[in-house]
Amino acid sequence: MNYGFVIDGRKCIGCHACTVACKSENQVPVGVNRTWVKYVEKGKFPATRRYFTVLRCNHCEEPPCVDICPVEALRKREDGIVDFDGRRCIGCKACAQACPYGALYIDPESHTSAKCNYCAHRKEVGLKPACVVTCPQQAIVSGDLDDPQSEISKLVATEQTSVRRPEKGTSPNMFYIKGDGAALDPLQTQDGRPYLWSEQSRGVGHFAGKSHAESPRQHRAAHLQDDPSMPRKVYDIPSKGVVWGWEVPAYVWSKGISSGLFMLFFMLTVVLSLQLPDEMQWSTWGISLAFLGLTGGFLIKDLDRPDRFQSVMLRPQFRSWLVRGGYIIGGYGAFLALWAVGKLLGLPAVEQVALWGGMFFAFMTSIYTAFLFGSARGRDFWQSPLMPFHMLLTSLVAGGAAMMLLMVLFGAPDILVGLLRWGLAAGVALNAVIMVSELFGRHPSKQAEAAAHQISAGALKSQFWVGAFLLGCLLPFFIFVWSSSLPLLSLGSILSLGGIYYAEKLWVRAPQLVSVS
């Protein structure tokens, strides 16, 4: 059994009956939608036409949202429906990043994730989805794609159909007859123009009831001329905004400091066999632990249901990098604790085990987020093969900067400071090179291209070039190369710490400014 939908573009009149029937059936709050209609116009008068597209969850064969959800709140059922359980959801919003189709939203009533679930509660009692029933044209067809006798199977077999973003490998079970390319692909339309009968001044979903600073859509500011040869979006639902805000880059940053610091500690202590003064060791350990705690804090802060944070460990979905990351961080924390035990009780063997174990887990801690971001299949910009290396690098730089500050505080041999200084110089230089190559190199898709463009030349360009590049990399580089004065080195360290946070913020934000629907 494989239940799915067909949207018959030959018949759809864009009347929004499906939108409202779904709202009614599923008691969906104002501002968010499980299904909706988008209007795109093409052409120059009188050769103008308007295209209506019904959008919602595609009930994919390979749903990326199911893979990323840490608590099995999303599930691919045996009958093909991708269902969700609001009681399990912790509001991490990873699913919203994973979905290439923008199907998921945060319900402002329950603060959990939701989407079209084929009206599973109706199916259970023998009824069709509400949208299918109400459509005046019967342009939405539901049914079992595995049954060759069903109406939907016959339609899919005998009519030309298209799906959204087939290259993502999700195998959608939502087929469009006479779907229009420009209407199905959000990047083919000019965005930021006023809509023909709606506008958005405030947030929705996760941002419901808040003022609206998160959307690129400001109709009053758009004094731009349309190019009649380009398709234009003339109606869409309100933007759900940038749901991974400052908390996620903050967590990556503090995690980087913690793991980077410990890795450097390991390198100095084990690889270079240096004996650092006790207070230095304890401070390093303390900072690592503190920032690890802060990491957990930022993670929990980001959740829309922080009261359920323990579900990540206790209702684990093991394919999710959020869960794996949770266990990795747990392991790292455990070894940190073990080190303290060994050190306090004067057991060098335990210390060694803790150092080696801690190093491994610190290493994994510093890079696992790259795999998490990589599994967010809705954000092509994050599907970069360079990302794990980049994260390792920034962790080491962040740890190095933190260590530099510790050295300045507690005093350290010049040779060590010198080593660290040149290490940092190399680190920030390499970081700058990688960032530039991520922005200006070849991208695998238009979405990734568009996100990169936001940073290098779009809405985020001043923040990037001034904040992340100039102040975060270039200036520290010159400081580390040309100066050995401790105050300046401290400044350089602080700037590069700031730069790393800033860059991470932009990297997290940029792809969320690119429409997926």
Partner 1 sequence: MNSTHTPTVIEKAAESLHLIENLHKDDDSRAATGCEGKQLSCPPPEHWDSWVEYDSRSWPERKGREYMLVPTSCFNCEAGCGLLAYIDKKDMRIRKFTGNPYHPASRGRNCAKGPATINQLDDTDRILYPLKRVGPRGSGKWERVSWESVLDDISSRMRKALQEGRNNEISYHVGRPGHEGFMDWVLKAWGVDGHNSHTNICSSGARFGYAIWEGFDRPSPDHSNARFILLVSAHLEAGHYFNPHAQRIMEGRMQGAKLAVLDPRLSNTASMSDYWMTSYPGTEPAVLLAMAKVIIDEGLYNRTYLENWVNWQQYLEAEYPDRPKTFETFIEALQEEYREFTPEYAEKESGVPAATIRDVARQIGEAGERFSTHVWRSASSGNLGGWAVSRTLHFLNVLTGSVGTPGGTAPSAWNKFKPTFHTHPEPQKFWNPLHLPDEYPLAHYEMSFLLPHMLKEGRGKLDVYFTRVFNPVWTYPDGFSWIEALEDESKIGLHIALTPTWSETAYFADYVLPMGHSPERHDLISYETHAGKWIAFRQPVMRVAHERLGTPVEFTWQANMGEVWEEDEFWLELSWRIDPDGSLGVKKHFESPYRAGEKLTINEYYRYIFEHTPNLPEAAAKEGLTPLAYMKRYGAFEVETDVYAVHETAVDEERLRSSTVEKGTIYSNGSPVGAEVAGQSCIGFPTPSRKQEIYSQTMVDWKWPEYRLPAYIKSHIHQDKMDRSKNEFVLVPTFRLPVLIHSRSGNAKWLAEIAHRNPIWINADDAAAMGIENGELVRVNTDIGYHVNRAWVTESIRPGVVCCSHHIGRWRRDQDQKGNRWATNLVSIDREGSGKWKLRVKEGIEPYKSDDPDSGRIFWSDGGVHQNITFPVHPDPISGMHCWHQKVRIEKAHPDDRYGDVFVDTDRSFQIYKEWLEMTRPAPGPGGLRRPLWLNRPVRPAEDTFYVGKGK
Cβ nearer to partner 1, comparing 133 with 481? 133
- Using CB under 8 A as the binding criterion, the count of chain residues that bind partner 1 stands at 95
CB 363, CB 259: distance < 8 Å: yes
Q: 3-class SS at 22? A: helix
| Separation of alpha carbons 262 and 268, rounded Å | 10
Contact 64, 378 (CB under 8 A): yes
Instruction: Tell me the sheet residues that pair with 298.
Output: none
- Beta strands in 43-108, from DSSP E residues, in sequence order: 49-56, 74-76, 82-84, 105-107
Q: Which is nearer to partner 1, 61 or 147 (CB)?
A: 147
The DSSP H or E segment spanning 278 is helix 278-302
User: HSE (CB half, 13 Å, CA atoms) of 412?
Assistant: 25
The minimum distance between CB 160 and partner 1, in angstroms, equals 16
Q: For residue 211, what are its two tokens?
A: 């003022």
Quick one: which of 364, 347, 348, 345 has its CA closest to 269?
A: 348
10 binds partner 1 (CB under 8 A): yes
| Binding segment toward partner 1, per CB under 8 A, in 215-223, 248-256, 395-403, 449-457 | 215-223
Q: Is 468 in the site for partner 1 (CB under 8 A)?
A: no
Part of the chain binding partner 1 (CB under 8 A), chosen from 20-28, 343-351, 451-459, 482-490: 20-28
Contact between 240 and partner 1 by CB under 8 A: the answer reads no
My answer on whether omega of the bond before 186 falls inside 30° of 0, hence cis, is: no
- Whichever of 47 and 345 has its CB closer to partner 1, that residue is 47
Q: CB 373 → partner 1: shortest distance, Å?
A: 25
Query: Phi/psi of residue 159, each to 5°?
Result: -115, 150
**What is d(CA 175, CA 398) in angstroms, rounded to the nearest whole number?**
47
Residues in contact with 124: Cβ distance below 8 Å, sequence separation at least 6, in sequence order = none
- Given 85, 191, 247, 449, the residue binding partner 1 (CB under 8 A): 85
In the chain, the largest separation of any two C-alpha atoms, in whole Å, equals: 86
Among 41, 67, 180, 438, which residue interacts with partner 1 (rule: CB under 8 A)? 41
Question: 35 and 54 in contact (C-beta within 8 Å)?
Answer: yes
Which residue from 4, 5, 7, 17 is in contact with partner 1, where contact means CB under 8 A?
17
Q: Does residue number 148 form part of the binding site for partner 1 (CB under 8 A)?
A: no
Q: Does the protein bind partner 1 through residue 414 (CB under 8 A)?
A: no
Under rule CB under 8 A, residue 230 binds partner 1: no
- Among the listed residues 11, 319, 446, 461, the single contact to partner 1 using CB under 8 A: 11
154 touches partner 1 by CB under 8 A: no
Looking at 66, 68, 94, 208, which residue binds partner 1 (CB under 8 A)? 208
Q: Which is nearer to partner 1, 219 or 485 (CB)?
A: 219
Residue 287 vs 303, nearer CB to partner 1: 303
- Residue whose CB is less far from partner 1, 109 or 279: 109
Task: Figure out which of the listed residues 209, 349, 414, 487 binds partner 1, where binding follows CB under 8 A.
Answer: 209
